[in-house]
Amino acid sequence: VYGLSRRARDEPCPGYRGRVLIAIDGPAGAGKSTVARAVAHALGCGYLDSGAMYRCVALLSLEQPDCAPAVLASAATITLSRSGDGWLVQLDGRDVTAAIRAPAVSAAASRLAADPGVREALVAKQRALIAHGDWVAEGRDIGTVVAPDADLKIYLTATPAERADRRARELGIDATGVLAAQDARDLRDSTRKHSPLTVAPDAIELDTSGLDVDAVVARIIALAQPPG
Ligand code: DC
């Protein structure tokens, strides 16, 4: 059921037996990025961080408040590439890897993500990117909107407290404020009119609370193996 039967297997990638698209969706702080990067690395697939795209548009719109966000979204050139052990995010040629993680950008990204024009422009960019080759794509709407034909859909969750703790540790700040901001984002992301965060009916839900990253990654890789 969870195998790779629904897509053509015409472009095998190193470390994997056929063409694959794995969608990993879920709320902020569920561990999507860490897990998606590790799965992509293990399978030799490309990695799409769709949240980074929303963050780039948010940064642009904070810098250019007079310009319509949807216009900024369609004009932006956003690239994500490997850089040593990490990932480099470039926006119109400049390195914005750190800038897009600022709390003000997180809040703006969550607001902008409700704009249908922004979503349309970014979904088009995401689909163009994953049209060729093998991908692990993470976000909120990959399995429901961007790639409803994904071979494997994972919905990663964790308790709100654990998610806030992880984010606070990452940013080196106190978890209380993180939890409040996270609650606000969760509510906005899951109640917005356009492409709200929902679990695709054919997604497999994995609760990562108390689980170690390696265990989650191993489980997803096992689910991605073709049956037999
Ligand atoms: O995953 P992240 O925290 O980097 O995402 C930033 C914001 O973008 C988040 O508030 C939700 C939004 N987003 C979205 O609406 N759809 C996606 N596919 C990815 C992110």
What is the per-residue pLDDT across 141-172, written as a single tens digit (0 to 9) for each?
Answer: 999 999 999 999 999 999 999 999 988 888 88
pTM of the model as a whole:
0.88
> What are the pLDDT digits (tens) for 98-127?
999 998 999 999 999 999 999 999 999 999
Ligand 1 centre distance from Cα of residue 93 (Å): 22
Residue 49 in tokens: 């961080």
Report CA(25)–ligand 1 centroid distance (Å): 10
CA pair distance 3, 152, nearest whole angstrom: 7
- Ramachandran bin of 12, using left for φ above 0, alpha for ψ from -120 to 50, beta for the remaining angles: beta
Average pLDDT over residues 1-13: 38
| Ligand 1 atom closest to the CA of 109, numbered from 1 | 7
pLDDT score of 197: 87
How many angstroms does the Cα of residue 171 sit away from the middle of ligand 1? 17
Say what the pLDDT of residue 206 is. 95
DSSP-H helix ranges across 64-159:
69-75, 103-112, 116-130
pLDDT at 179 over 70: yes
- Contact status, residue 45 vs residue 136, Cβ threshold 8 Å: yes
- Contacts of 144 by beta carbon, 8 Å cutoff, 6+ apart: 25, 195, 198, 200
Q: What is the pLDDT of residue 11?
A: 44
Check residue 3 and report its DSSP letter. Answer: S
Beta-carbon contacts of residue 195 (< 8 Å; ≥ 6 apart): 119, 140, 141, 144, 145
pLDDT of residue 6 exceeding 50, the answer is: no
Q: Is the CB of 51 under 6 A from ligand 1?
A: yes
∠ at Cα 165 (47, 89), nearest 5°?
A: 30
